[in-house]
């Protein structure tokens, strides 16, 4: 289950942020798909959590949008993580038209539990 945090500047239009919120669950799921956690295209509640946060007056960022993804470490994910994040970046660009943004993929050793 990936956790996604989108940090954005106030200059980013709301329709772009809404489009990001719409396309990220599928694109992120494709990017982190692996044999241990296959993606069947049928997202359920809790499969991808997305949080949006506007940059504050004390924040420093060189990009108007930074998308940080945290997903559980598996060797199969870690082996090609740069390729995964490059493909994800291009998918986001194609879906939203954003030019200036960054994507950070972190694969920590983690566990997850969820109620029904």
pLDDT tens per residue, range 11-31 = 999 999 999 999 999 999 999
pTM over 0.95: no
Total number of domains in the chain:
1
Inside any domain, residue 112: no
Rounded mean pLDDT, 68-86: 95
Query: CA-to-CA distance for 50 and 46, rounded, in angstroms?
Result: 10
At 35-75, the pLDDT tens digits run: 999 999 999 888 899 999 999 999 999 999 999 999 999 99
What pLDDT score was predicted for residue 108? 85
Q: What are phi and psi of 49, to 5 degrees?
A: -105, 130
For residue 49, tell me if it sits in a domain. Answer: yes
Contact (CB, 8 A) for 64 and 18: no
CATH code, domain carrying 84: 3.30.429.10
Residue 113 lies in a domain: no
pLDDT of residue 64: 97
pLDDT tier for residue 115 given thresholds of 50, 70 and 90? confident
Q: Which domain holds residue 97?
A: 3-106
Estimate to the nearest angstrom the gap between the alpha carbon of 56 and the chain centroid. 21
| Phi–psi pair at 68, nearest 5 degrees | -110, 125
Integer Cα distance of 63 and 103 in angstroms: 11
Evaluate whether residue 55 is within a structural domain.
Answer: yes
């Amino acid at each position: 289950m990936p956790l996604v945090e989108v940090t954005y500047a106030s200059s980013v239009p709301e329709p772009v942020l809404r489009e990001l919120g719409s396309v990220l669950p599928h694109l992120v799921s494709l990017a982190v798909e692996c044999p241990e956690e296959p993606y069947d295209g049928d997202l359920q509640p809790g499969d991808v959590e997305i949080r949006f946060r506007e940059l504050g007056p004390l924040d420093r960022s060189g990009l108007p949008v930074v998308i940080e993804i945290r997903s559980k470490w598996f060797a199969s994910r870690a082996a090609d993580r740069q390729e995964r994040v490059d493909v994800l970046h291009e998918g986001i660009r194609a879906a939203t038209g954003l030019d200036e943004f960054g994507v950070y993929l972190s694969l920590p050793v983690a566990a997850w539990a969820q109620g029904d």
